[in-house]
Structure 1
Amino acid sequence: MNSGRFPYSKWVGTFLLLLVTCSASAEKVKVLNLENSLQIAKENNLTIQSAEQNLKSAEAQIRTARAAMLPRLAASGNYTYFKDVQKSVIYAQGGFGFPIPGEETNGMSTPSPDNEADLIELEFGAHHNVQGTVNLTQPVFAWGRYYYGYQAAKLRYEAEKKELAAAYEKLRLDVHEAFYRVLIAQEFVKVAEQSVALVQKQLGIAQTSFDAGATTNFDVLRAKVQLANSESQLIRAKNGVKTAQNAYKTLLNLSLSEQISVEGSFEIPEIQIQLDELIKLAFETRPEISQSQLNEQAGQKQLSVAKTRNLPDLAFFSNYQISHNERLTQMNRIWSLGLQINIPIFDGFASRAGVQQSESILKQLQLGTKQIRSATEFEVRNAYLALLEAKTLINVQRETVAQAQESVRIATLQFENGMITSVGLTDTQLALMQAKVNRLQALHDYVVGLAKLEKAIGQRIQ
């Protein structure tokens, strides 16, 4: 009896476990809309993180360039031990060969090197030596070299800020494209499901007519083939949702195993701005243009720095030194200050080459600014024309879906009464499905086109 109860209890426990697991899985589904998707992308996107690190690096370069204009204070110290110190021998009388004061030179007796009493051994230095030095240097005049470098660093920092802004704009467009790609994929699934339902209804009508002997088996076979095709399209649509979701999760830097759901709608705001005004706005607010202009200004400062490399510079210095050893009764202290001038005489033409290189870099930056302006105008024009095209398609297809639905309703009634064949009904069903797909695609193209236009001009369109 117990053996009979055990399998029953085991199956009940397994069922409850699966139920709890399924409930936990359902709770883990993350619902995303466009707003929180943008926030998640800003926090997790690797491109944004890289741009933020570039900005921090540029900020550190400002501090480095500023440090070149400030005084530099350095201290050093050392301890030296000499096992053996230097020794020297001198004559006891008239040391170093000089006569003793008060004696006549002629009366001096010549010391004999063989007589040790006439020699004295002296030690120079000490065994234990301690020395410390404090050095201060301050650039006084360098033809603006350090100031130009500081200005160039500040300009590069501002350029990096514009690059970060451009990265945000690009990310915003990418999020819009990926978000609405998932949204339209989900809508395609609904359209495919509606198509399957229509074909199933058609198959039921055809089967009923065939069973009653009113029609041949042709309509049934054709409906079955059409049902298989619709189900295939539904499978592809569902797989398209998974593919779009994986791309979306990759963009947001989310785990591919994480379950997400996208909620949103295709909102169609009206735009009243003309093309010329949009191009003017793009030239004023597009971060890539501002970044290129700032880099160009920084290049001019770097050229000014390069031109000072072969010019003299003046610096102030001051030194304070202390030393002590076991032979001294008082520590030595030495303080000095002065001015130092450095005059480049010949550097192997390195300064001239540096100027030429800076001039070439500046020319490249100037050409780059022109290219970016031209590319920006091209991007704005294309985005504007694509937006107008999508808006026109939306207006054209505004009544198409309703008309196609009415056509399917009439064709279904006619098919039920034997007035048309399954071919005619299938044509109207395909036309309805195509009308829904075209309208969804037009709505998708409009909202994505609007995001592209806003990215092209570098600001939101009110």
Structure 2
Amino acid sequence: MKTNILYIVTLLLLIGSSKPLYAQKKMLALKDALEMAKQGNKAIQVQILEEIHAREITNEVKGGLLPSISANAAYSRYFERPIIFLPGSFAGTDKPVQDVAFGGKNTYDVFVTLHQSILAPGIQRQKKVSKINESIQNEKTADLKSQIALLVSTRYLDLLMMNSQLDLLEQSLQRNKKALQDSRSLLAQGRGLKSDTLRSFVAVANLESSVSYLKNNVTVAGIELKRLIGLEDPAEIELSDNLELNIETSQHEFHQVDAALAIAEKNRKDLSIQELTIALQQKNMKVIQAELLPQLSLIGQYQLQAQADNFKFGQYALPRTSFLGLQLTVPVFNGNRTKSKINQSKIKMRQEEIRLNDLKDEVKTELATLISQWKEAVNQLNIQEKTVQSATLNHQMVDDRFKNSLGSRLELTDAELALTQAKINNLNAIYKIQVLHVKLKHAIGQLSL
């Protein structure tokens, strides 16, 4: 009995002394998110490996200009001696051709060969191709980092916008719950209308639905942001930045399409990639043309041979053979295959040139669209700021009237909803400018991790 009492007392003490556990949250600023994405994003990690792969291809091509040395050894067992055919007079017979068996049944052959390219225009040109391919992969990495920076920034701003909306809606929900309580109280006293109570109830229900929907979206957006930046910490993230207009809305590079396009042509990595692709096709055509040129190589070999019918290795003779020489290869005719490959390369190069022109047109259209949206967003922000001021003043006036029994609760509810909607619209205007600022920076090639 005493033991049971002791257990119960110990349990009560543990329960009383324990503190509630709350889910830990990780504070995250936008600059920190971008830095984490630079290191943790999986797509960037894959692309960096592509850079390394391109460098190894260059090293492989360079190896073609270095000497190639190989050592070989062979053993053969003949069940019948090898045959050669000699004139009969050489073999001591009257036959025109006499087969003569020769050699031992065990044959051994050990040799070392050397090959060194002296004149190899194809390898020299292929080395230039691989260097351009390296540059393309480097530019692709920079372009991917810019795209990831755009995704992370927009996702972060999305979360800021949803959190700000959620704060406004929760504040509005509390005020509308208070209004619903007042309406029910007035209805119970016979001083209110049932329609007013129903309207307040519908407003509260709609706000609760919107709050629940936003909370779910915030959770999903947080998961997506963590994936983008490579954050595997199970802790929930909490944004430390605020959705405030901390950028200059009258930026000159966002006013003229031609000026923005000039900046983009200098900085955008996708344009650089396309230009390098054209250069790559040109070099590939040079590589194909090199197939029509002669090649000169230094070749050599050192060889040891032995033949015998037994395995008495100490009695074997090991004659040596060695040589060093030059080998010249001159293409003569290959069925016009090289000419066809050159024509194919010219077609590919023309295709890439068309793609470059189309990409420039696409960039120009993108810039024109974003600049137009930027100007309209700035205009909308000015309008929404005035609307919030008006809605705030109207809410104060209606609240004063209600407190002095000169207005109805319904009027106050309408004013409160109008003020909340005006604030949300103002947030949307700020959010849109922030997002457009990031997109414009990306469009002119000035956004990266």
- Same fold, judged at TM 0.5 (above): yes
Query: Where does residue 418 of structure 2 map in the other structure?
Result: 431
Contact 1:71–1:139 (CA<8 Å) still a contact in 2? yes
User: Which of 34, 39, 44 is the equivalent residue of 1:43?
Assistant: 39
* Superposition deviation, residue 211 in structure 1: 5.6
- 2:391 partner amino acid: A
Residues 328 and 347 (structure 1), Cα distance of their counterparts in 2 relative to 1, 3 Å cut: farther
1:287 aligns with 2:287: no
Instruction: Give distance in 2, aligned partners of 1:413 and 1:158.
Output: 69
Instruction: Give distance in 1, aligned partners of 2:123 and 2:90.
Output: 57
Instruction: Give distance in 2, aligned partners of 1:221 and 1:306.
Output: 81
- 1:138 partner amino acid: Q
Query: Where does residue 117 of structure 2 map in the other structure?
Result: 139
* Superposition deviation, residue 209 in structure 1: 4.5
Query: Where does residue 396 of structure 1 map in the other structure?
Result: 383
Give the secondary structure class of the aligned counterpart of 2:291.
coil
User: Which of 39, 50, 54 is the equivalent residue of 2:50?
Assistant: 54
Deviates more, 1:4-13 or 1:240-249: 4-13
Instruction: Give distance in 2, aligned partners of 1:86 and 1:145.
Output: 42
User: Which of 189, 200, 208 is the equivalent residue of 1:223?
Assistant: 200
- 1:246 partner amino acid: I
Give the secondary structure class of the aligned counterpart of 1:70.
coil
Cα root mean square deviation, aligned:
3.0
Residues 414 and 4 (structure 1), Cα distance of their counterparts in 2 relative to 1, 3 Å cut: farther
Task: Name the TM-score, length of structure 2 as normaliser.
Answer: 0.85
Residues 322 and 237 (structure 1), Cα distance of their counterparts in 2 relative to 1, 3 Å cut: same
Query: Where does residue 178 of structure 1 map in the other structure?
Result: 155
Task: Name the TM-score, length of structure 1 as normaliser.
Answer: 0.83
Contact 1:139–1:314 (CA<8 Å) still a contact in 2? yes
Alignment of 1:370-381 (within 5 A): 370-381=357-368
Contact 1:282–1:458 (CA<8 Å) still a contact in 2? yes
Residues 426 and 243 (structure 1), Cα distance of their counterparts in 2 relative to 1, 3 Å cut: same
User: Which of 144, 153, 162 is the equivalent residue of 2:139?
Assistant: 162
Contact 2:288–2:338 (CA<8 Å) still a contact in 1? yes
> Bigger radius of gyration, 1 or 2?
1
Query: Where does residue 441 of structure 2 map in the other structure?
Result: 454
Give the secondary structure class of the aligned counterpart of 1:132.
strand
Instruction: Give distance in 1, aligned partners of 2:433 and 2:207.
Output: 28
* Superposition deviation, residue 217 in structure 1: 4.1
* Superposition deviation, residue 346 in structure 1: 4.1
* Superposition deviation, residue 443 in structure 1: 1.2
Per-residue CA deviations over 1:247-288 (Å, capped at 9, x if unaligned) read 222323445954221221234311233423221010111111
Instruction: Give distance in 2, aligned partners of 1:152 and 1:293.
Output: 14
Query: Where does residue 96 of structure 2 map in the other structure?
Result: none
Instruction: Give distance in 1, aligned partners of 2:315 and 2:442.
Output: 77
- 1:154 partner amino acid: K
Instruction: Give distance in 2, aligned partners of 1:95 and 1:420.
Output: 135
Instruction: Give distance in 1, aligned partners of 2:141 and 2:301.
Output: 46
* Superposition deviation, residue 345 in structure 1: 4.0
Query: Where does residue 300 of structure 2 map in the other structure?
Result: 318
Instruction: Give distance in 2, aligned partners of 1:169 and 1:128.
Output: 68
Query: Where does residue 236 of structure 1 map in the other structure?
Result: 213
Give the secondary structure class of the aligned counterpart of 1:337.
strand
Give the secondary structure class of the aligned counterpart of 1:125.
coil
* Superposition deviation, residue 229 in structure 1: 2.3
User: Which of 429, 443, 455 is the equivalent residue of 2:430?
Assistant: 443
Alignment of 1:231-270 (within 5 A): 231-255=208-232, 257-265=234-242, 266-270=244-248
* Superposition deviation, residue 306 in structure 1: 1.3
* Superposition deviation, residue 11 in structure 1: 5.7
1:412 aligns with 2:394: no
Alignment of 1:191-230 (within 5 A): 191-207=168-184, 209-210=186-187, 213-230=190-207
Give the secondary structure class of the aligned counterpart of 1:246.
helix
Give the secondary structure class of the aligned counterpart of 1:419.
coil
Per-residue CA deviations over 1:401-460 (Å, capped at 9, x if unaligned) read 233223222212323444333332222112111111111111111111111111111115
Instruction: Give distance in 2, aligned partners of 1:12 and 1:386.
Output: 63
Residues 96 and 255 (structure 1), Cα distance of their counterparts in 2 relative to 1, 3 Å cut: closer
Residues 131 and 196 (structure 1), Cα distance of their counterparts in 2 relative to 1, 3 Å cut: same
Q: Matched residues, percent identical?
A: 24
Contact 1:145–1:308 (CA<8 Å) still a contact in 2? yes
* Superposition deviation, residue 224 in structure 1: 2.8
* Superposition deviation, residue 187 in structure 1: 0.7
1:300 aligns with 2:277: no
- 1:272 partner amino acid: H
Give the secondary structure class of the aligned counterpart of 2:328.
strand
* Superposition deviation, residue 16 in structure 1: 5.9
Residues 213 and 138 (structure 1), Cα distance of their counterparts in 2 relative to 1, 3 Å cut: same
Instruction: Give distance in 1, aligned partners of 2:411 and 2:425.
Output: 21
Instruction: Give distance in 1, aligned partners of 2:326 and 2:54.
Output: 33
Instruction: Give distance in 2, aligned partners of 1:15 and 1:126.
Output: 98
Give the secondary structure class of the aligned counterpart of 2:321.
strand
Per-residue CA deviations over 1:32-81 (Å, capped at 9, x if unaligned) read 11112112222222221221122112111111222223322222122344
Instruction: Give distance in 1, aligned partners of 2:74 and 2:383.
Output: 88
Q: How many residues align?
A: 427
Instruction: Give distance in 2, aligned partners of 1:299 and 1:393.
Output: 48
Residues 34 and 315 (structure 1), Cα distance of their counterparts in 2 relative to 1, 3 Å cut: same
